[in-house]
């Protein structure tokens, strides 16, 4: 049986999944809690990595080295960056990259890639899970997700990121997860639901929609697990 690693940056992003999980063991490694058990008959390692790229990368490497996961699904919330993306929409990553690392550096330094591609099978599974979602009003998109060490809540920064990367959304962990998964040859996909528009109103919107958006994303993951 495959071992599926599932990650969120904050407790609210994995709460629904933990509530649905039959936990057989709980281990703390390097400060991260790893819940070991089953969801929908699948062997799962569920963890909360904390906010930011270094936390996400460290937690991902432990998932791979210590628990031998066969694939990684990252679930959570994000700021919308695309004109067609609305609050509470779901974004499935076709690829991920950093918005705070120069493109030249990405291409000229190991691992010599400007972005990291999501796994085609996991992407297809996620898209099908969106179609099966009980919420008929839920919109979903396939597109680029960018990450950086800041909560984007400024119109000027948003404009700069959009012009340079043409992403669907922005967050703080996905590219690091994809980076580590890629260099370890572990399939991954990033799933995010929009809590705000990464603009001057982002903080107010985030506080209103963070829980709803976190559950939207987690429900897609649950649908994926049901169809595996």
How far is Cα 225 from Cα 38, in angstroms, rounded to an integer? 10
**Active centre residues (catalytic):** 13, 196
Per-residue pLDDT at 62? 98
One-letter-per-residue 3-state SS of 66-124: CCCCCEEEEEEEEEECCCCCCCCCEEEEEEEEECCCCHHHHHHCCCCCCCEECCHHHHH
**Residues paired with 93 in a beta bridge:** 143
pLDDT grade, residue 139 (50/70/90)?
Answer: very high
pLDDT given for residue 125 in this prediction: 97
Mean pLDDT along residues 66-93: 95
Query: For residue 1, is pLDDT > 80?
Result: no
Average pLDDT score over residue span 78-82: 93
DSSP label of 197 = -
Inform me whether the pLDDT recorded for 136 exceeds 70: no
Task: Say what the pLDDT of residue 135 is.
Answer: 66
Give yes or no for residue 173 having a pLDDT over 90.
yes
Residue 183 CA to residue 185 CA, distance in Å, equals 6
> Is the pLDDT score of 147 beyond 90?
yes
User: pLDDT category, 154, cuts 50, 70, 90?
Assistant: confident
Provide mean pLDDT across the span 141-152.
94
Closest CA to 6 of 65, 54, 59, 58: 59
Residue 190, preceding bond cis, omega within 30 degrees?
no
At the top level of CATH, the class of 3-221 is alpha beta
pLDDT (tens digit per residue) in 95-113? 999 999 999 999 999 999 9
Domain layout of the chain by residue ranges: 3-221
Distance, first Cα to last Cα, the chain: 11
Distance CA 210, CA 205 (A): 8
How much is the pLDDT for 150? 86
Mean pLDDT for 42-58 is 98
| Residue 117 reports pLDDT greater than 90 | yes
pTM score, whole prediction: 0.95
Res 148 pLDDT > 70? yes
Could you list the beta-strand ranges (E) of 101-224. Answer: 116-117, 140-147, 169-171, 188-196
In DSSP terms, 60 is beta-bridged to none
Q: Parallel, antiparallel, or unpaired for β 71-80 and 3-8?
A: parallel
Asked whether residue 70 carries a pLDDT value surpassing 70, the answer given is yes
Question: Residue 76 pLDDT > 80, yes or no?
Answer: yes
């Amino acid at each position: 049986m495959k071992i599926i690693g599932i990650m969120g940056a904050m407790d609210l992003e994995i709460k629904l999944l933990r509530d649905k999980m039959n936990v057989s063991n709980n281990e703390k490694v390097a400060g991260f809690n790893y819940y070991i058990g089953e969801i929908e008959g699948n062997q799962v390692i569920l963890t909360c990595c904390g906010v930011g790229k270094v936390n996400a990368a460290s937690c991902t490497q432990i998932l791979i080295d210590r628990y031998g996961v066969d694939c990684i699904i990252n679930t959570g919330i994000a700021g919308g960056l695309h004109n067609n993306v609305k609050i509470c929409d779901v974004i499935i990553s076709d690829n991920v990259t950093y918005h705070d690392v120069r493109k030249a550096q990405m291409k000229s330094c190991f691992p010599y890639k400007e972005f990291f591609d999501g796994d085609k099978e996991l992407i297809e599974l996620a898209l099908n899970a969106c179609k099966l979602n009980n919420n008929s009003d839920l919109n979903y998109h396939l597109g680029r997700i960018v990450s950086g060490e800041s909560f984007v809540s400024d119109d000027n920064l948003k404009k700069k990121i959009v012009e340079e990367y043409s992403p669907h959304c922005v967050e703080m962990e996905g590219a690091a997860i994809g980076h580590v998964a890629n260099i370890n040859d572990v399939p991954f996909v990033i799933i995010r639901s929009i809590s705000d528009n990464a603009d001057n109103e982002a903080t107010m919107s985030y506080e209103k929609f963070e829980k709803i958006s976190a559950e939207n994303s987690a429900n897609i993951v649950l649908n994926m697990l049901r169809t595996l």
